[in-house]
Chains A and B, each alone.
Chain A
Amino acid sequence: SHPPRRLCILKGIYPHEPKHKKKVNKGSTAPRTFYLLKDIKFLLHEPIVNKFREYKVFVRKLRKAYGKSEWSTVDRLKDNKPSYKLDHIVKERYPTFVDALRDLDDALSMCFLFSTFPRTGKCHVQTIQLCRRLAVEFMNYVIASRSLRKVFLSIKGIYYQAEVLGQPVTWITPYTFAHDHPTDVDYRVMATFTEFYTTLLGFVNFRLYQSLNLVYPPKIDSQTDAELKPAEGTEYAMDSESYLEKLSALSASLARVLAPAHEDEMEMDEFPVEGETAEQMDARKQEQEALEKHKKLFEGLRFFLNREVPREPLAFVIRCFGGQVSWDKSLCIGATYDVTDPSITHHIVDRPRVEPQVVGRYYLQPQWVFDSVNAKLCLPVADYFPGVLLPPHLSPFVTEQEGDYIPPEKLKLLAMQRGENPDDESEEEDEEEEEEEDDDKEEEEDESEKEEEMKLKKMEEQKTQSNKALPVKVTAGKVRLEDKQRLEQEQQSEEKRLAIMMMKKREKYLYKKIMFGKKRKVREANKLAAKRKAHDTAVKEEKKKSKKARRA
């Protein structure tokens, strides 16, 4: 029989796969879930079981009182409504804070999802409000600590990855649309998970705020609060009511317990780790510097969000990297400056055309912000102007190993990060292309051998260039030599085949499996590369055609 679901969820009890399935299952191999006996015994000792029972009794009594219309009893019962806390379970499951941080991914994703639910039906309004509050608190912490590292716009939602106290924490938020609530989902299960996750996240938030000397529950810094007030006037609700909204605007900095004592100038002491060479230390130092630089990516930039761009994710990301951000006053509370502000440097727009444009600021599509964050540098803006066909948005979570397919955009980006300037190359390429086109034209007019020769030379040059780019060097060899090499290779491969024949059965199986996986990987990479090539040629041809059409 299955142990109580709710208890399993709260206590984190999961089934185990027995070592000898047949033995445990009385000879049958039918799929069954198995729990460890000690886990079930562990559940029995949980004090919260009694609380659950009390609650069940309470509900029964209340129903009875309602049925008899004994209103005084109802009131009395409601006054003494039994409540329970999950604090000790959180502590028990995560004995150290780092454990809790490691398991934060699901908690965050769930809270962010629940905070977007409508305030009707599906679950309690209090739960939704609590989720929203905790999510906003966490986002404010990430802003304050500047710990966001990666953002990814997927078709499912927006992925964020932050590095909280050295632990990578990844969560996904849905795009802000009304949910089409599915019917084949058990919301009670999700609600039980959320119950636990909210408790966990609350404690984690408290601790995180404490670690930054911030006041918990968060308070907007009195200075900025004062700045905000005159602008807002009294059009909004009372202070107490709009507090969470103001907080969720993500535009104000938070109040600290202690006045910030210029942490920025504090230098990290260097402790040489034993057995670490100078090179390694240098590398570490460089990494540290790069990280610091990444944290201050948008420092000094002033953004303005047009009303059609998703405000919350953009404001969150921009603030996480030190940028200042504002939006239309009617869009949301917490706007700090107006569209007309001349100091705005970047205006984020997501419509095909912007009229009239103000001189002195870039009009950019929102992808620029996300791509820049992932690239750890402010990308050239030309590709991201409104109405321009955007370059592909790549996942920052993919680290290509050797042999994997790397999209050309990623290669370009890597080169840019290394400090090379791929723009020139591409321009050159373009020029070359144009030249080639010219050549074609001239060819059409009259075919001279000289040009052919030139072309051949050029092609050779290109070839050598491309060869240079490759990590493997291929030296030109004589035919004989190659033959010898081939012979040697053949011999080697035969040796290998013979050796494989001598492998033990189990090892051979393993080897074949590994090799199959490798081959599949290569095949997939090749497929992608071929697809890309076909696509590129198609695009190029189209370009040529359109050019010709324009010329004609």
Chain B
Amino acid sequence: MEQARPGGESAEELTDSGESVYSGLEDSGSGSSSAGEDSDSDSDAEDGPGGSSPPRTHAKGAPRKSKTLEDDSSLKDDEDLLAQNEYEEDSSDEEDIRNTVGNIPMEWYQDFPHIGYNLDGKKIYKPIRNKDELDMFLEKMENPEYWRTVQDKMTGADIKLTDEQVELVHRLQRGQFGDVHFNPYEPAVDFFTHEVMIHPVTNRPADKRSFIPSLIEKEKVSKLVHAIKMGWIKPRKPKDDTPTYYDLWAHEDPNSILGRHKMHVPAPKMKLPGHEESYNPPPEYLLSEEEKLAWEQQEPAERKLNFVPQQYRCLRAVPAYPRFIHERFERCLDLYLCPRQRKMRVNVDPEDLIPKLPKPQDLQPFPTTQALIYRGHSSLVRCLSVSPSGQWLVSGSDDGTVRFWEVCTARCMKTLPVGGVVKSIAWNPNPTVCLVAVGVEQSVLLVNPCLGDKLLYGATDQLLESYVAPEEERVQPVQWVTATAEQHGKGVRLLVQHSKAVKQVTWHGKGDYFASVVSDNSNMQVLIHQTSKRWSQNPFRKSKGLVQCVLFHPIRPYFFVATQRYVRVYNLLKQELTKKLMTNCKWVSSMAIHPGGDNIICGSYDSKLAWFDLDLSTRPYQLLRHHKKALRSVAFHKRYPLFASASDDGTVIVCHGMVYNDLLQNPLLVPVKVLKGHTPTLDLGVLAVLFHPTQPWVFSSGADGTVRLYT
């Protein structure tokens, strides 16, 4: 089609498109030739008209076009022709009469001067083309017919298209039929009418198979019947015409409430929203910048609110909540995946939990205020003891001195340097003897303080001097040494020298015997000494663990030995173990016995205080956890129902501990006062606590180097 355009194109292009035109024409127009002939349809198309169109008016080339054009222009003539010889043009045998090369690509003749051979076998020479580009251009410019000039590729001659031919090309370009008079939209005429006619269309007699039953159908039916029999195919279900919704609870049957309904734990309802979830909350519910930051840094599960409160000025401005579906989904998951459990909510008034105790005022007297401070020691005061009369107080300190104080005036009466850390000190409980046992390093010093009644301490000296050494020397675990003159001047009377450092000394109630504890790991830990006979013995054959402290029973011949976790009670007369008390503590630090002798308290380093009722059980009657830090010392009052405990947290807690004579009534323990005064130093608070023998007063000594009296 390109050749029809006025714009100049190369010759090859022209020929190519020319071919396509032909083939297109043939497809639409001429009667279909067989598939085998398709290959040379081109030549057919060209041949046909060439051979058969007598009224050829124009030069050869595009023969098919010329033919159709003829059709256009002189349809009648054509019809006449067709009538004359219908199949004349269709012969494929007919060759092109001008050029006999046949249906070959014409490029093969490109390099030759001729383009083929005519019927006589003479060469057909290509027309002389000596025009250069300039001539071509000039012709293009000057020749008004240039745009309708095409080249016949069979002869190489230029052909000018007629108006009809140009028209045809235009029509084809527009996609219309080549034939002007062809009407593609003619009304369709049914071959068979829809009306029933009385005569058959064909005269053919009916087939036999239309009279006999079909085997194939029979097979199909039998298959279906078999399937139905076997239950593979079911009949269509009748439509269920019961309404979708009806009164489900019309007959509420109480029997339908199963056991599982009673056991059912209904899912808790969603939490109802508070003010902070409002789209326009009060300003105090909005998060500040820091709170927002904190919220963002929190784990999503830990957040108290799962959203950031926000304020919108009007309802119009409120956006959709992006996590709405998430929250619903999480609720669904909660409903079917969360374990449910009935939890009894503790709905108690906390005030009800506080036990009803007698008022401390009703339990008076007990020490309430700090009355005196005994200053003088330069280091921590480890131990205290008070004279049986209650007039004198003695304290031993880490600065290597023992100081004697007058209780009422806080005056230091005497200072005794002992040249070592004083671990333990004990005043003889016998009021007729004025003697103090001091545990310093590896020895126990028996000191006569020379205080108070001159007769009294003179008698004590006499008592000590009246000792007559036995005839035969007995083997003793310790050495009794009489003090030198210098020491005697200071008050020291006797030295009991142990093999290891002494931890504790304690007197028996009668004032003749005393026991000492040595830091050792053998059976030599506990020794019992008799002052009047200067005689020591080792009561135990076997070590039962690290002994912390020992105690004499105030009335009966019992001896208490506290190891780390147990307190063993020995009968000294029968020389046997009578009881073993479990303290439930990790490490017992101190022990004290009720003057009645039936109750013991044990303080421990794990800040517990265990009260034992010896008649009741070997386990603590009560375990008190009043202190926050390790207990260092515990003490009973001799007359009043009071006991005190001193701890590293710097407090002394005074408790009322009433023991009844009635065996059925349990002891009553009530804390009555927390005494504070000592300042904890080096993680140590109060190291020793002691009651006044007659008054409801309590002494305490602390790591701050002071001794304090509370009254």
Chain A residues at the B interface, C-beta cutoff of 8 Å: 5, 8-9, 12-17, 33-34, 38, 42, 76, 79-80, 83, 87, 90-92, 94-97, 99-100, 102-103, 105-106, 109-110, 113, 152-157, 159, 170, 174-175, 177-182, 184-186, 189-190, 193, 202-203, 205-207, 210, 216, 308-310, 350-351, 365-367, 389-390, 392-395, 397-398, 407-409, 494-503, 505, 507, 510-511, 514-515, 518, 528-529, 531-532, 535
> Which residues of A have CB within 8 Å of B332?
9, 110, 189-190, 193
CA of A353 to CA of B624, assembled, Å: 74
| 13 residue pairs from A and B, CB less than 8 Å apart | A14-B267, A16-B339, A16-B341, A106-B335, A152-B277, A155-B279, A174-B324, A185-B329, A203-B249, A207-B247, A309-B316, A498-B357, A503-B353
Which residue on chain A has the smallest CB distance to residue B235?
A80
> Which residues of B have CB within 8 Å of A34?
339
> Which residues of B have CB within 8 Å of A528?
284-285
Chain A nearest Cβ from B241, distance in angstroms: 14
> Which residues of A have CB within 8 Å of B307?
155-156
Interchain CB contact under 8 A, A501 and B324: no
Q: Does B474 contact A (CB under 8 A)?
A: no
CA of A456 to CA of B114, assembled, Å: 133
Mask, B286-330, CB within 8 Å of A = 1, is 001000000000000000000101101111101111111111110
> Which residues of B have CB within 8 Å of A156?
273, 277, 307, 321, 323-324, 327
Interchain CB contact under 8 A, A14 and B338: yes
> Which residues of A have CB within 8 Å of B253?
95
> Which residues of B have CB within 8 Å of A91?
248-249, 256
CA of A395 to CA of B340, assembled, Å: 29
> Which residues of A have CB within 8 Å of B270?
105-106, 109, 170
In-complex Cβ contact of B252 among A96, A203, A503 (8 A): A96
Binds A, one of B40-48, B148-156, B665-673, B695-703: B665-673
Q: Does B269 contact A (CB under 8 A)?
A: yes
CA of A42 to CA of B346, assembled, Å: 33
Chain A nearest Cβ from B515, distance in angstroms: 33
> Which residues of A have CB within 8 Å of B275?
392, 394-395, 398, 407
CA of A175 to CA of B671, assembled, Å: 63
Interchain CB contact under 8 A, A207 and B314: no
In-complex Cβ contact of A14 among B258, B261, B339 (8 A): B339
Mask, B182-226, CB within 8 Å of A = 1, is 000000000000000000000000000000000000000000000
Chain A nearest Cβ from B370, distance in angstroms: 16
Mask, B342-376, CB within 8 Å of A = 1, is 00001010100111110110000000000000000
> Which residues of B have CB within 8 Å of A184?
326
Q: Does B282 contact A (CB under 8 A)?
A: yes
Interchain CB contact under 8 A, B321 and A392: no
Q: Which residue, of B237, B266, B281, B315, has the highest number of chain A Cβ atoms within 10 A? A: B315
CA of A501 to CA of B674, assembled, Å: 11
In-complex Cβ contact of A365 among B246, B282, B315, B340 (8 A): B315
Chain B nearest Cβ from A153, distance in angstroms: 5
> Which residues of A have CB within 8 Å of B331?
106, 109
Interchain CB contact under 8 A, B245 and A205: yes
Chain A nearest Cβ from B344, distance in angstroms: 12
> Which residues of A have CB within 8 Å of B670?
498, 502
Q: Does B234 contact A (CB under 8 A)?
A: yes
Contact A157/B339 with A207-B248, A397-B273, A532-B284 known, Cβ cut-off 8 Å:
no
Q: Does B272 contact A (CB under 8 A)?
A: yes
Q: Does B278 contact A (CB under 8 A)?
A: yes
Interchain CB contact under 8 A, A79 and B236: yes
CA of A390 to CA of B280, assembled, Å: 8
CA of A206 to CA of B247, assembled, Å: 6
Chain A nearest Cβ from B601, distance in angstroms: 15
In-complex Cβ contact of B340 among A17, A351, A515, A531 (8 A): A17
> Which residues of B have CB within 8 Å of A350?
314-316
Chain A nearest Cβ from B106, distance in angstroms: 53
> Which residues of A have CB within 8 Å of B348?
510, 514
> Which residues of B have CB within 8 Å of A152?
273, 277-278
Chain B nearest Cβ from A529, distance in angstroms: 7
CA of A33 to CA of B236, assembled, Å: 45
Q: Which residue, of A106, A110, A529, has the highest number of chain B Cβ atoms within 10 A? A: A106
In-complex Cβ contact of A110 among B257, B328, B357 (8 A): B328
Chain B nearest Cβ from A316, distance in angstroms: 15
Interchain CB contact under 8 A, B277 and A155: yes
Q: Does B333 contact A (CB under 8 A)?
A: yes
Q: Does B97 contact A (CB under 8 A)?
A: no
Interchain CB contact under 8 A, A113 and B278: no
Contact A393/B278 with A308-B316, A502-B669 known, Cβ cut-off 8 Å:
yes
> Which residues of B have CB within 8 Å of A510?
346, 348, 353
Interchain CB contact under 8 A, B273 and A159: yes
Q: Does B233 contact A (CB under 8 A)?
A: yes
Interchain CB contact under 8 A, A395 and B324: no
CA of A8 to CA of B337, assembled, Å: 9
CA of A95 to CA of B248, assembled, Å: 10
Interchain CB contact under 8 A, B282 and A392: yes
Contact A109/B328 with A97-B252, A207-B248 known, Cβ cut-off 8 Å:
yes
Which residue on chain B has the smallest CB distance to residue A529?
B284
Contact A180/B247 with A80-B237, A156-B277, A502-B671 known, Cβ cut-off 8 Å:
no
Interchain CB contact under 8 A, B282 and A532: yes
16 more CB-based (< 8 A) A-B contacts, given A9-B335, A170-B269, A395-B273: A9-B336, A15-B337, A15-B338, A83-B240, A155-B278, A156-B323, A175-B319, A175-B321, A216-B245, A392-B280, A407-B285, A498-B673, A501-B671, A511-B353, A511-B354, A531-B283
